[in-house]
Amino acid sequence: MLSIQLVWRLALAVVTLVILYLALIPAPPSEGLGWDKLNHAIAMAVVTVIAFRTLRPVSLRAVLLAGLYALLLGALIELLQGTLTTARSAEWGDLLADAVGVALAMPGLYLWKRKTITREC
């Protein structure tokens, strides 16, 4: 039987690979949510939440590491788009949108962390 933490780690791997694939193909299959920057923000918020769920113990450090993972993924995508593709380009605005998504996810994770720690005490 799979542990819940392993399931979250598998989910993070799958989401990371899907986002990388969509970011590097010449043309995405759809417009997603209709605005590129919103797509970036939502994707990195989701990555932040899933990355947080893979980490133990639940702590402020886990919140920060999850955010860092999502930001580094966003930076990697922009780097790869700027160097490996001809149909896509690196944009500072995309990285900023990624950071906004991370920033939106982190307060909720911090509050969830506080609730979980309080419950354990």
Please state, in angstroms and rounded to a whole number, the distance separating the CA atoms of residues 94 and 39: 9
pLDDT tens for each residue of 58-69: 888 999 999 999
Please state, in angstroms and rounded to a whole number, the distance separating the CA atoms of residues 43 and 70: 9
Please state, in angstroms and rounded to a whole number, the distance separating the CA atoms of residues 2 and 11: 12
State the residue range of the domain holding 77. Answer: 4-120
- pTM of the model as a whole: 0.86
How many domains does the structure of the chain reveal? 1
Q: Tokens 């990388």 correspond to what residue?
A: 20
Share of the chain above pLDDT 90, in %: 63
